Structure 1
Amino acid sequence: MPRYWFDDALKMIEKVGVVATRLDHIPAQVALSWLFGVRRVTAAIIGARRVDQVAENLAVGDPDLPAKIRNELTDTMALKLGYPLEWTNINVRPTFASAGFEPRHTAKIP
Protein backbone atom coordinates (compact mmCIF):
# COMPACT_ATOMS: atom_id res chain seq x y z
CA MET A 1 0.00 0.00 0.00
CA PRO A 2 2.74 2.59 0.72
CA ARG A 3 3.83 2.28 -2.91
CA TYR A 4 0.59 3.95 -4.05
CA TRP A 5 -0.93 5.68 -1.00
CA PHE A 6 1.65 8.20 0.15
CA ASP A 7 1.30 11.92 0.91
CA ASP A 8 2.29 13.21 -2.55
CA ALA A 9 -0.06 10.76 -4.28
CA LEU A 10 -2.94 11.86 -2.06
CA LYS A 11 -2.16 15.51 -2.91
CA MET A 12 -2.27 14.63 -6.61
CA ILE A 13 -5.61 12.84 -6.24
CA GLU A 14 -7.04 15.89 -4.49
CA LYS A 15 -5.63 18.28 -7.14
CA VAL A 16 -7.05 16.18 -10.00
CA GLY A 17 -10.46 16.32 -8.31
CA VAL A 18 -10.27 20.11 -7.91
CA VAL A 19 -9.22 20.59 -11.54
CA ALA A 20 -11.95 18.21 -12.74
CA THR A 21 -14.59 20.23 -10.90
CA ARG A 22 -13.19 23.47 -12.31
CA LEU A 23 -13.27 22.09 -15.88
CA ASP A 24 -16.59 20.27 -15.46
CA HIS A 25 -15.00 16.89 -16.25
CA ILE A 26 -14.61 13.72 -14.24
CA PRO A 27 -11.26 13.11 -12.51
CA ALA A 28 -10.40 10.16 -14.79
CA GLN A 29 -10.66 12.42 -17.85
CA VAL A 30 -8.38 15.04 -16.32
CA ALA A 31 -5.84 12.43 -15.22
CA LEU A 32 -5.75 10.72 -18.62
CA SER A 33 -5.61 14.01 -20.51
CA TRP A 34 -2.65 15.06 -18.35
CA LEU A 35 -0.91 11.72 -18.88
CA PHE A 36 -1.40 11.79 -22.65
CA GLY A 37 0.31 15.18 -22.76
CA VAL A 38 3.43 13.99 -20.92
CA ARG A 39 6.07 12.94 -23.45
CA ARG A 40 7.67 10.37 -21.15
CA VAL A 41 4.36 8.44 -20.92
CA THR A 42 4.06 6.06 -23.85
CA ALA A 43 0.89 4.29 -22.76
CA ALA A 44 -1.75 4.67 -20.08
CA ILE A 45 -3.55 1.69 -18.63
CA ILE A 46 -7.17 2.45 -17.90
CA GLY A 47 -9.10 0.47 -15.32
CA ALA A 48 -12.58 0.56 -16.77
CA ARG A 49 -15.03 -2.08 -15.57
CA ARG A 50 -18.17 -0.79 -17.26
CA VAL A 51 -19.01 0.35 -20.79
CA ASP A 52 -19.85 3.87 -19.57
CA GLN A 53 -16.38 4.14 -18.02
CA VAL A 54 -14.80 3.20 -21.35
CA ALA A 55 -16.90 5.89 -23.08
CA GLU A 56 -15.82 8.47 -20.48
CA ASN A 57 -12.16 7.53 -20.99
CA LEU A 58 -12.47 7.70 -24.77
CA ALA A 59 -13.84 11.26 -24.48
CA VAL A 60 -10.46 12.27 -23.07
CA GLY A 61 -9.13 13.02 -26.55
CA ASP A 62 -11.68 15.80 -27.02
CA PRO A 63 -10.61 18.39 -24.43
CA ASP A 64 -6.97 19.38 -24.21
CA LEU A 65 -5.74 20.73 -20.91
CA PRO A 66 -4.54 24.34 -21.01
CA ALA A 67 -0.80 24.71 -20.36
CA LYS A 68 -1.44 26.48 -17.04
CA ILE A 69 -3.51 23.56 -15.71
CA ARG A 70 -1.07 21.00 -17.12
CA ASN A 71 1.78 22.73 -15.26
CA GLU A 72 -0.34 22.97 -12.11
CA LEU A 73 -0.82 19.19 -12.15
CA THR A 74 2.82 18.51 -13.02
CA ASP A 75 4.02 20.71 -10.15
CA THR A 76 1.75 18.96 -7.64
CA MET A 77 3.86 15.82 -7.48
CA ALA A 78 7.51 15.77 -8.41
CA LEU A 79 8.65 12.85 -10.53
CA LYS A 80 10.76 10.46 -8.48
CA LEU A 81 13.06 8.56 -10.77
CA GLY A 82 14.22 6.04 -8.14
CA TYR A 83 16.34 3.05 -9.08
CA PRO A 84 18.56 2.90 -11.12
CA LEU A 85 19.10 6.68 -11.15
CA GLU A 86 19.56 6.92 -7.37
CA TRP A 87 22.08 4.07 -7.44
CA THR A 88 23.86 5.63 -10.41
CA ASN A 89 24.12 9.00 -8.67
CA ILE A 90 25.62 7.40 -5.58
CA ASN A 91 28.00 5.00 -7.30
CA VAL A 92 28.77 6.23 -10.80
CA ARG A 93 28.74 10.03 -10.46
CA PRO A 94 31.97 10.14 -8.40
CA THR A 95 33.70 8.14 -11.14
CA PHE A 96 32.52 10.48 -13.92
CA ALA A 97 33.21 13.59 -11.83
CA SER A 98 36.88 12.70 -11.69
CA ALA A 99 36.86 12.33 -15.48
CA GLY A 100 35.74 15.97 -15.86
CA PHE A 101 32.47 15.49 -17.77
CA GLU A 102 28.85 14.66 -17.11
CA PRO A 103 27.28 11.57 -18.70
CA ARG A 104 24.50 12.46 -21.16
CA HIS A 105 21.94 10.17 -19.52
CA THR A 106 21.66 12.47 -16.51
CA ALA A 107 19.82 15.14 -18.49
CA LYS A 108 16.78 16.48 -16.62
CA ILE A 109 13.42 15.14 -17.64
CA PRO A 110 10.73 17.83 -17.68
Structure 2
Amino acid sequence: MPYWFAPASTEKKPEGSPYTSTMVDWKLLSYIQENDEAQRTDGMCPESLSNLFVFDHWDGRYRYFTVALEDGLSPSDKPPAFVQRRRHMEDIMNYCLSLSKNSRPRFLSNL
Protein backbone atom coordinates (compact mmCIF):
# COMPACT_ATOMS: atom_id res chain seq x y z
CA MET A 1 0.00 0.00 0.00
CA PRO A 2 1.51 3.37 -0.89
CA TYR A 3 2.53 5.48 2.09
CA TRP A 4 0.39 8.47 1.13
CA PHE A 5 -2.94 6.76 1.86
CA ALA A 6 -4.52 7.86 5.12
CA PRO A 7 -7.87 7.02 6.71
CA ALA A 8 -10.59 9.57 6.02
CA SER A 9 -12.40 11.22 8.88
CA THR A 10 -16.09 10.43 9.31
CA GLU A 11 -16.79 13.70 11.14
CA LYS A 12 -18.70 16.36 9.23
CA LYS A 13 -16.39 19.18 8.16
CA PRO A 14 -17.32 22.80 7.50
CA GLU A 15 -18.42 23.37 3.91
CA GLY A 16 -15.69 24.63 1.62
CA SER A 17 -12.82 23.98 4.04
CA PRO A 18 -9.64 24.58 2.02
CA TYR A 19 -7.56 22.34 4.26
CA THR A 20 -7.21 18.74 3.15
CA SER A 21 -5.75 17.95 6.58
CA THR A 22 -9.29 18.21 7.99
CA MET A 23 -10.25 15.14 5.93
CA VAL A 24 -7.77 12.84 7.70
CA ASP A 25 -8.77 10.78 10.74
CA TRP A 26 -5.88 11.94 12.94
CA LYS A 27 -7.11 10.02 16.00
CA LEU A 28 -6.93 6.76 14.08
CA LEU A 29 -3.48 7.57 12.68
CA SER A 30 -2.26 8.36 16.20
CA TYR A 31 -3.64 5.04 17.47
CA ILE A 32 -1.89 3.16 14.65
CA GLN A 33 1.39 4.93 15.37
CA GLU A 34 1.21 4.01 19.07
CA ASN A 35 0.12 0.39 18.44
CA ASP A 36 2.29 -1.38 15.90
CA GLU A 37 -0.28 -4.14 15.54
CA ALA A 38 -3.51 -5.33 17.10
CA GLN A 39 -3.15 -8.54 19.04
CA ARG A 40 -5.77 -11.27 19.02
CA THR A 41 -7.19 -11.98 22.46
CA ASP A 42 -9.32 -14.86 23.74
CA GLY A 43 -12.27 -12.61 24.62
CA MET A 44 -12.14 -10.74 21.33
CA CYS A 45 -15.47 -10.08 19.61
CA PRO A 46 -15.37 -11.75 16.14
CA GLU A 47 -17.12 -8.76 14.56
CA SER A 48 -14.12 -6.59 15.51
CA LEU A 49 -12.14 -8.43 12.82
CA SER A 50 -14.07 -6.86 9.94
CA ASN A 51 -13.05 -3.59 8.31
CA LEU A 52 -9.33 -4.18 8.86
CA PHE A 53 -6.21 -4.18 6.72
CA VAL A 54 -4.24 -7.35 7.47
CA PHE A 55 -1.04 -8.67 5.97
CA ASP A 56 1.31 -11.60 6.23
CA HIS A 57 4.41 -10.72 8.28
CA TRP A 58 6.52 -13.36 6.55
CA ASP A 59 5.48 -12.62 2.98
CA GLY A 60 4.38 -9.10 2.11
CA ARG A 61 2.63 -10.27 -1.06
CA TYR A 62 -0.42 -11.31 0.93
CA ARG A 63 -2.46 -8.27 2.00
CA TYR A 64 -6.16 -8.26 2.70
CA PHE A 65 -8.99 -5.91 3.59
CA THR A 66 -11.48 -7.77 5.72
CA VAL A 67 -15.07 -7.12 4.73
CA ALA A 68 -17.24 -9.42 6.81
CA LEU A 69 -17.18 -12.45 9.05
CA GLU A 70 -18.07 -15.76 7.42
CA ASP A 71 -20.14 -17.51 10.08
CA GLY A 72 -19.62 -21.22 10.35
CA LEU A 73 -16.01 -21.34 9.16
CA SER A 74 -13.05 -22.16 11.37
CA PRO A 75 -9.29 -22.36 10.67
CA SER A 76 -9.57 -26.13 10.20
CA ASP A 77 -12.24 -25.88 7.43
CA LYS A 78 -11.47 -26.01 3.71
CA PRO A 79 -10.94 -22.58 2.09
CA PRO A 80 -14.07 -21.30 0.32
CA ALA A 81 -14.35 -22.15 -3.39
CA PHE A 82 -14.11 -18.50 -4.48
CA VAL A 83 -10.57 -17.91 -3.12
CA GLN A 84 -7.52 -17.97 -5.36
CA ARG A 85 -5.75 -21.35 -5.60
CA ARG A 86 -2.50 -21.79 -3.66
CA ARG A 87 -0.16 -24.62 -2.83
CA HIS A 88 -1.64 -25.41 0.61
CA MET A 89 -5.42 -25.78 0.24
CA GLU A 90 -6.05 -28.42 2.95
CA ASP A 91 -7.51 -25.90 5.43
CA ILE A 92 -7.88 -22.15 5.98
CA MET A 93 -4.97 -21.97 8.43
CA ASN A 94 -2.55 -23.54 5.96
CA TYR A 95 -3.99 -21.49 3.09
CA CYS A 96 -3.21 -18.25 4.94
CA LEU A 97 0.23 -19.30 6.15
CA SER A 98 3.20 -18.49 3.90
CA LEU A 99 5.97 -20.05 5.99
CA SER A 100 8.47 -22.44 4.43
CA LYS A 101 8.10 -26.21 4.48
CA ASN A 102 10.33 -26.54 7.58
CA SER A 103 8.94 -23.56 9.52
CA ARG A 104 5.27 -24.42 8.91
CA PRO A 105 4.97 -27.46 11.26
CA ARG A 106 6.88 -25.67 14.03
CA PHE A 107 4.55 -22.65 13.85
CA LEU A 108 1.38 -24.79 13.72
CA SER A 109 2.46 -26.89 16.69
CA ASN A 110 2.71 -23.75 18.88
CA LEU A 111 -0.94 -22.70 18.38
Q: Same fold (TM over 0.5)?
A: no
Higher strand share: 2
Q: Normalising to structure 1: TM-score of the pair?
A: 0.27
Higher helix share: 1
Q: Normalising to structure 2: TM-score of the pair?
A: 0.27
Higher relative contact order (CA 8 A, sep 6+): 1
